Amino acid sequence: MMTAGETARVLVQALPYVYRFAGKVVVVKLGGAAIDAELDRALAQDVLLLRSVGVRCVLVHGGGPQVDAMMRRVGKEPEFRGGLRVTDAETLELVRMVLVGKINRDLVGTINREAIEEPVAVGVSGEDAGMLVVAPRESALGFVGDVSHVRTSVLHRLLNEGLTPVVSTIGADEGGQPYNVNADEAARAIAVAMGAEKIVYLTAAPGLLENVEDESSLVRRITSNELRERIQHESVSRGMIPKLRACADSVDGGVRTAHIIDGRVPHALLIELLTDEGIGTMVKREADW
């Protein structure tokens, strides 16, 4: 347990970051593999604390493992191509049910139970008010879409009302047809469109590792160009590539910094944002170092 002096030092260390990020948008993407009841409670507390000091948090979630489990329960075997889920009409309904009807509602409920005065979290789907406008990726993938436009007015209105949006990543095309959207890519598109200060990916890994077998080999800082070189030369694990590419695209698209951090660590978001040491990998453009 920390002494009073140690607690005071932590609070003093956080103060400059509080001033820096107050009024700024921070997009937080929670991966399905990092979703856990106790960790979600810690994340809820982090989001509420950041909100209380003026940080405008948007929480975006995936749910791949949970969708896989639901598909197997109904006798369907998940199929992937290039890391993307092949999504026929039946699979799309299952994805919507899990992401919108289960995970989103659970996250909203967790945040609102932790709120001290009144509920503040609001669940929204990318379909709501045409927030995530998508175009089909390719016919072989079925109903899988890429974000072509983000209507940020919905998110800004909620934030201006003091509410915290929790976004499930189902989008729709101009005709209203729903599509499954990769959550890493959706979070990137939202962060760029909103001019976010930061985008943070909470994962089931410490961050980018020099050696995937050694969690102590964490790469703490890297430029977007260096990141792209590693992806091109396949010196990173395939499962990490979508997040790394999204980080590079985010900062090159105007987001000040991107972070990949270990969502298995309680309060990882606060540690990364409000301490000097941080906890994961930070990505910036070369010109910003």
37-52 vs 104-114: helix crossing angle, rounded to 10: 60
7 inside domain: no
31 inside domain: yes
Task: Determine the pLDDT at residue 128.
Answer: 94
pTM: 0.93
**Which CATH number characterizes residue 192's domain?**
3.40.1160.10
User: Number of folded domains in the chain?
Assistant: 1
Report whether pLDDT(131) > 80.
yes
Structure tokens of 157? Answer: 């209105």
Q: What do you get for the CA distance between the two ends of the chain, in Å?
A: 36
Indicate the average pLDDT of the chain.
90
49 inside domain: yes
Of the candidates 191, 153, 187, the one whose C-alpha atom is nearest the C-alpha of residue 171 is: 187
14 inside domain: no
DSSP string across 125-180: ETTGGG-EEEEE--GGGBSEEEEEEE-THHHHHHHHTT-EEEEE-EEE-TT--EEE
Percent of the chain with pLDDT over 70: 96
Q: Which domain holds residue 238?
A: 23-288
224 inside domain: yes
Task: Determine the pLDDT at residue 2.
Answer: 54
Query: Sorting pLDDT into bands at 50, 70 and 90, what band is 166?
Result: very high
